[in-house]
């Protein structure tokens, strides 16, 4: 147990026969359950896990590969059945240093947060040695995830080293969370809709010799599509359905005016190509909607940033969350 909380480590594993034993052996003593989900590995991952003598190990094997998100969801479900108060994610390739696990757990046991995640890029030096295209990719993806999820104070969204309270998991529609590479991004969107306080924890990355098998040509369009739909879903639930917020009004009016201004601007350009001189009134008809629409969108953005759920609860475990 950790500070009176039952802790379960969920370990998604795919082709990890070489490293999974190390993950088990280095798991801290305060972790009560080690739920390992073999996502239909074609190697001996399950055999290595079964050979472990650690009584905390609980192995689940998928007969059909469901992706890292699917494995994590299976693990969370099993951990909740085991009575865990807090679930942490530990990668099956031993790239998540257990020495930093208390930093995450502190935030969700005593810190009042419902969700805590590691952030590898907590200083300028964190980007050293990383190819420039990966740096730009991480920054771009982080910004898009901030916009879609509403967690403007979080960075490094693809970092799967996380801790989450069981009480939060029970409120989440886990069956609707993305099951592949975009799991972490979609999870943040669902958490924000529920207004779960979340926090970043500076934790350095541990890189091995593995080569990523992720196909960017497939992953990038999937992420962009998910983040776009997730943004609209978040705005609908948080700012329209549950409370008609000025943010929704500013967004709608801003988009309409900006779209109108762009359409008129295109029309003016077309007129100029045909040698028709646009009048001052016509130019203002395009300029005013562009300026006002931009200002309204900036105002909506400012209010959305202020509404980011980053304030911890006064009591991390409520009256119905008794910790053994």
| pLDDT reported for residue 302 | 95
| pLDDT reported for residue 168 | 96
d(CA 15, CA 126): 28
| pLDDT reported for residue 50 | 96
Domains in the chain: boundaries: 7-239, 244-306
Give yes or no for residue 278 having a pLDDT over 80: no
Instruction: Pull the structure tokens for residue 315.
Output: 């009591």
| pLDDT reported for residue 242 | 86
Quick one: pLDDT band at residue 138, thresholds 50, 70, 90?
Answer: confident
Residue 16 carries which DSSP code? -
Q: Please write the tens of the pLDDT for every residue from 221-253.
A: 888 999 999 999 999 999 999 888 999 999 999
| pLDDT reported for residue 103 | 95
Out of 30-39, 206-215, 223-232, 286-295, pick the least confident. 206-215
| pLDDT reported for residue 155 | 92
| pLDDT reported for residue 206 | 64
Instruction: Pull the structure tokens for residue 104.
Output: 């995450």
Return the CATH fold of 7-239: Spore Coat Polysaccharide Biosynthesis Protein SpsA; Chain A (3.90.550)
Between strands 7-13 and 33-38, the pairing is parallel
d(CA 165, CA 115): 7
Instruction: Pull the structure tokens for residue 100.
Output: 């930093």
Quick one: pLDDT band at residue 97, thresholds 50, 70, 90?
Answer: very high
| pLDDT reported for residue 153 | 94
Give yes or no for residue 7 having a pLDDT over 90: yes
Quick one: pLDDT band at residue 324, thresholds 50, 70, 90?
Answer: very low
As a whole-number percent, the residues of the chain with pLDDT over 70 amount to: 91
Contacts (Cβ under 8 Å, ≥6 apart) of 89: 9, 10, 11, 12, 72, 75, 96, 160, 161, 162, 163
More confident residue, 157 or 126: 157
Give yes or no for residue 116 having a pLDDT over 70: yes
């Amino acid at each position: 147990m950790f500070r009176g909380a039952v802790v379960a480590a969920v370990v998604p594993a795919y082709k990890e026969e070489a490293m999974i034993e190390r993950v088990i052996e280095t798991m801290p003593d305060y972790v009560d359950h080690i739920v390992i989900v073999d996502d239909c590995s074609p190697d001996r991952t399950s055999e290595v896990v079964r050979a472990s003598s650690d009584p905390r190990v609980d192995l689940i094997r998928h007969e059909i590969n469901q992706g890292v998100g699917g494995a994590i969801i299976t693990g969370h479900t099993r951990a909740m059945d085991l009575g865990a108060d807090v679930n942490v994610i530990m990668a099956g390739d031993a790239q998540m240093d257990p020495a930093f696990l208390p930093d995450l757990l502190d935030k969700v046991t005593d810190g009042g947060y419902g969700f805590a995640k590691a952030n590898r890029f907590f200083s300028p030096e964190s980007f050293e040695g990383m190819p420039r295209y990966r740096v730009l990719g991480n920054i771009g993806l982080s910004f898009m995830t901030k916009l879609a999820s509403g967690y403007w104070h979080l960075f490094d969204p693809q970092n799967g080293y996380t801790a989450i309270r069981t009480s939060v998991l029970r409120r989440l529609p886990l069956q609707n969370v993305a099951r592949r590479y975009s799991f972490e991004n979609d999870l943040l969107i669902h958490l924000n809709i529920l207004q779960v306080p979340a926090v970043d924890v500076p934790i350095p990355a541990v890189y091995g010799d593995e080569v990523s098998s992720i196909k960017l040509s497939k992953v990038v369009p999937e992420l962009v599509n998910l983040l776009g739909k997730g943004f609209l879903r978040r705005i609908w639930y948080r700012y329209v359905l549950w409370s008609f917020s000025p943010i929704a009004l500013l967004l709608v009016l801003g988009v309409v005016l900006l779209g109108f201004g762009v359409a008129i601007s295109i029309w003016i350009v077309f007129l100029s190509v045909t040698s028709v001189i646009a009048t001052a009134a016509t130019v203002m008809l395009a300029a005013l909607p562009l300026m006002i629409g931009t200002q309204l969108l900036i105002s909506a953005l400012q209010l959305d940033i202020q509404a980011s759920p980053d304030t911890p609860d006064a009591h991390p475990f409520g009256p119905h969350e008794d910790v053994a």
